[in-house]
Amino acid sequence: MAASILDGNKIASEIKAEVATEVKAMAAAGTRPSLAVILAGHNPASEIYVRGKVKSSEEVGIYSEQLTPPDTISTEELLEMVIKLNQRDEIDGILVQLPLPSQVDSKKILMAVDPAKDVDGFHPVNVGFLSTQRPGLVPCTPAGILEILRRSNVPIAGQQAVVVGRSDIVGKPTAMLLINGNATVTVCHSKTRELPGVCRRADILVAAIGRAGMVTRDFVKPGATVIDVGMNKVTDRAEFDRLFAGNARREETFRSKGSTLVGDVHPEVAEVAGKLTPVPGGVGPLTIAMLMANTVRAAKLRRGSRVPAFAGERS
């Protein structure tokens, strides 16, 4: 039986509607949550992401501000920008879009963001809060993955979860959230031996590797829930045929645009998995929805309000 497809756009809309309701209630009490986004230079992908973040802020009623320094900016100049945002009391969330220009010391910049305003959840203080189950700010994509599981009634406690990929932004925090949700968690990476066999043990398989269609049907236990975090552009004909041979709709996109977007999961997995997130329209939309949720959460935490626990987190 074909996997049921988990609709990320629908879940993201639900979350954004909930955030909009909270923002309205806060506005009625005299506060407007606000987000500052720093976009340094002209990375085309980053420009698209940031546009989406600003547009969603407007939709849910969050005040947003964009700072666009040139790609020649120095670490010291960028640090100065971050420090000024830290000092502005009316700014609740600060997001520094990555990647930064190569001459900038990214770690130094991310360390400078006030942890209370760190809506990306990248600061070591928030990483520590997550790993010790204290209320803080959780990275948006991992938080979104947990929301997909929770809102699709996928059980977590006691389940075998396998996360492929150990990045600081996705793999590690996702593993931590699943541990906090009482799953039994295995984290795999490029040195993992017998990768397909390890993945086949998973009730929940999270693919966050960054390699087009690497997770094939032999990685997946029949009926498993598969979460695809990949976003890969396929331009090579042979690679396209390996992934989408016989798919007329994809063929048309590929012919007209010269490329198509594919996750880390091979489309054939839909024949084996129980539940599957599509690409596009799966995890992607959740990242922005959770940024909106984190901005409201930061605004509340900074004002000493009680906040509900996020997925897997103790309040």
DSSP symbols for the chain: -PPEEP-HHHHHHHHHHHHHHHHHHHHHTT---EEEEE--S--HHHHHHHHHHHHHHHHHT-EEEEE---TT--HHHHHHHHHHHHH-TT--EEEE-SSPPTTS-HHHHHHHS-GGGBTT--SHHHHHHHHTT-S----HHHHHHHHHHHHTT---TT-EEEEE---TTTHHHHHHHHHHTT-EEEEE-TT-TTHHHHHTT-SEEEE-S--TT-B-GGG--TT-EEEE---EEE--HHHHHHHHTT-HHHHHHHHHHS-EEE-SB-GGGGGT-SEE--SSSSSHHHHHHHHHHHHHHHHHHHTT---PPPTT---
- Does residue 67 interact with ligand GUN by CB under 6 A? no
- Does residue 164 interact with ligand GUN by CB under 6 A? no
- Does residue 54 interact with ligand GUN by CB under 6 A? no
- Does residue 78 interact with ligand GUN by CB under 6 A? no
Catalytic status, residue 53? yes
- Does residue 231 interact with ligand GUN by CB under 6 A? no
Site track 238-277 with ligand GUN (rule: CB under 6 A), x = hit: ----------------------------------------
Catalytic status, residue 120? yes
Least gap, CB of 308 to ligand GUN (angstroms): 22
Find the binding residues for ligand GUN in span 79-118 (CB under 6 A): 95-98
- Does residue 292 interact with ligand GUN by CB under 6 A? no
Q: Which is nearer to ligand GUN, 97 or 295 (CB)?
A: 97
Least gap, CB of 63 to ligand GUN (angstroms): 19
Catalytic status, residue 236? no
Question: Total number of residues binding ligand GUN (CB under 6 A)?
Answer: 8
Q: Which residues bind ligand GUN (CB under 6 A)?
A: 95-98, 120, 140-141, 287
Q: Which residues are part of the catalytic machinery?
A: 53, 97, 120
